[in-house]
Amino acid sequence: MRLGAHAETVIEWLALRLNLGPKPLADTQAAFQFARIIMAASRAGLFEALQDGGRTAQEIAAARGTDPRATAKVLDALLAHGYLRYRNGLYELNRLSRKWLLADSPHTLAHKLDFQEIEWRWTEGFDRWLLDGTARDMHGTLSPKEWHRYQWGMRDFSTAPATEVAWRSRLPKGARALLDIGGSHGFYSVQMCRRHPELTATILELPEAIPSAAEILAREGLERRVVHVPGNALEDDLGTEIYDAVLLANLIHHFDAEQNLRLAQKVARALRPGGVFMIVDAIRIASPAEANRPSRRLGAVLDVYFALTSTSGTWSVEAIQEWQRSAGLRILRPIWLKTLPGAALLEAMKPGASNAAVGTGFV
C-alpha cells in the first residue's frame, strides 16, 4: 500500500514524475486535514444522518445539531474525495461510506476512527522520540474509558482480516483447541470457530482488559466456545501439548526480539504435534533494499508508530520465521492478506503428526 499523493490526470502524473508538484504538502497538510475531517464527520454522526436517504446540508445539520455552514463545507470535502455522492440537490451515502462508516454496519470503522483521536495525541510525541529514542508506553497510560475505546477500535480494525485469516489459515484436521494470545475482543477466535465447528478458543488476556473485551465478545453469541482467561503470555506457563493452534494477531509489534523468541518457544511447547502457530501482523522491510516493495510500505510506517508507543515495532518476515524455526517449528509459506494490505499470516507447524492442514478460500 502506497500512502500519500496519487496522480489522477496526465498533468498530475507528469508533475509528480518530474518533481514539480509539492508532494510533501500532499503527504502532510492535505492528508492530516482530511483525516480530521473524516474523524469529525464520523463522531458528529453525519453519515448516520444519511442512512435512510439523501438530505440537504441544512437538514443534516439540523438532525445532528451541527453548524449549517461548517456542515456544508465538511460534506463538500467528503464529496470531493469520494466519501459521498450528490444527486438532485441532496447528499447521499455511497458504497464506501455505507459499508465502512455507518456505526451499525457489520464492517464499521466508526469505533476505530473514534480511538484515532487518542492515537493522534500519541503521535505528537514523534519529535521528542526522534531526538532521544525513548519509547513511551502509551497503552499503560490509558484510562478505563480509553481502554474501552481502544478495544472497540481494535474490534473494528479486525473485522475484515479476521474473516480472511479464518478461511486461509491451515489448521490441522479435527482441530479442537485454539489459544488466542492477547486476543482482546476475540473476533479472530470467533471467526475461526465459525469456520471450524468443532473448535473452541481460549483468549489469554490481561486482567484489566477483560471487562471491556468480554462485553464486545458477548455480541457474537459464542460464549460456550470462546472464553477469556486472565493472564500474561510473557510470564505465564502456556502448558505442554494442549492446543491444536495458537494465534498471535497484531501483538508481536509490542514485544522485542528476545520476548518474541521466548514466546515462540512457549507456544511450541503448548502445541500438540501437527499444531500450527499463527502470527498475523504488519510486515516491515528487512533492509533498506526492500523499501520499494509494496507489501512492506505500511509496515515501515507502523514500525515508527509502535516504536514510539510500545517500545518495539513491526518485524520482517525473516525475523518472525527465525523465531518460529528456533522454537523447532516447520515454516509454512507466508500468506499476504488481501483485506489488510501490508499484513501477512505467518504460520509454522509442530512436527510429529501426519494430519494434513486445512484451509480454503481467498486463494
pLDDT at 17 over 80: no
Kindly state the average pLDDT of the residues 219-228: 94
Answer yes or no: do 25 and 143 share one domain: no
Split at pLDDT 50, 70, 90, the class of 189 is very high
**The residue to which cell 448516520 is assigned:** 48
**CA dihedral sign, ordered 187, 188, 190, 191:** positive
Q: Are residues 221 and 274 in the same domain?
A: yes
Give how many domains the chain has, as a whole number. Answer: 2
Beta bridge partners of 92: 85
Q: Are residues 149 and 90 in the same domain?
A: no
Helices assigned H by DSSP within the chain = 10-17, 23-25, 31-44, 57-64, 68-80, 95-100, 110-123, 126-132, 144-168, 187-195, 210-218, 257-270, 297-310, 317-326
Q: Which of residues 101 and 138 earns the better pLDDT score?
A: 101
**Percent of the chain scoring above 90 in pLDDT:** 72
CA gap 95, 269 in Å, rounded? 47
- Contact between 81 and 74 (Cβ < 8 Å): no
Mean pLDDT throughout 141-168? 92
Residue 141 clears pLDDT 90, i.e. is over it: no
pLDDT for position 167: 96
pLDDT of residue 55: 98
- Average pLDDT of span 207-215: 90
Q: What is the DSSP string of 205-250?
A: E-GGGHHHHHHHHHTTS-TTTEEEEE--TTTS---SS-EEEEEEES
pLDDT reported for residue 291: 75
Please answer whether residues 193 and 201 qualify as being in contact, where contact means their C-beta atoms are separated by less than 8 angstroms. yes
Q: Which of 147, 132, 134, 236 is nearest to 185 (CA)?
A: 147
Task: Examine the domain organization and report whether 183 and 323 are in the same domain.
Answer: yes
**pLDDT value for 354:** 52
Residue 13: the pLDDT is 57
Same domain, 181 and 77: no
CA dihedral 153, 182, 306, 169 (to 10 degrees): -90
5 pLDDT higher than 60: no
Q: Residue 9: is its pLDDT beyond 90?
A: no
Range of the domain at 22: 10-102
Predicted confidence band at 140 (pLDDT cuts at 50, 70, 90)?
Answer: confident
Crossing angle for the helix pair 257-270 and 317-326, to the nearest 10 degrees:
50
63 and 180 inside one domain? no
Q: State the pLDDT at residue 360.
A: 37
* CATH code of the domain containing 63: 1.10.10.10
Summarised one tens digit per residue, pLDDT across range 309-337 is 888 899 999 999 999 999 999 999 999 99
Ramachandran area for residue 99 (φ above 0: left; ψ -120 to 50: alpha; else beta) = alpha
User: Is residue 363 predicted with pLDDT exceeding 50?
Assistant: no
Quote the CA–CA distance of 95 and 90 in Å, as a whole number. 16
Distances (CA, A) of 167 to 160, 180, 221, 295, 355: 11, 16, 20, 21, 18
Contact (Cβ atoms closer than 8 angstroms) between residue 320 and residue 27:
no
In a domain, 116, yes or no: no
- With a cut of 90, say whether residue 220 has pLDDT above it: yes
Report the C-alpha gap between 270 and 328 in whole angstroms.
12
pLDDT by residue (tens digit) across 33-62?
Answer: 999 999 999 999 999 999 999 999 999 999
Buried b (16+ CB within 10 A) or exposed e, 39-67: bebbebbbbbbbeeebbebebbbeeeebe
Give the tens place of pLDDT for each residue, 68-79.
999 999 999 999
Q: What is the pLDDT of residues 172-184, one digit of tens each?
A: 999 999 999 999 9
Q: How far is CA 233 from the centre of its chain?
A: 20
* 32 and 146 within one domain: no
Neighbour count for residue 208 (Cβ, 10 Å) = 11
SS3 112: helix
Nearest to 328, CA basis, from 351, 296, 308, 359: 351
- Rounded CA separation 200/225 (Å): 5
pTM for the predicted model, two decimal places: 0.88
The answer on pLDDT for 357 being more than 60 is: no
| 166 & 68 share domain | no
Q: What is the pLDDT of residue 362?
A: 29
At which of 78, 102, 126 does a domain end?
102
Residue 29: per-residue pLDDT: 80
Quote the mean pLDDT of the chain. Answer: 90
Confidence class for position 358, pLDDT limits 50, 70, 90: very low
Q: What does the pLDDT average to over 103-130?
A: 94
Residue 254: CATH number of its domain: 3.40.50.150
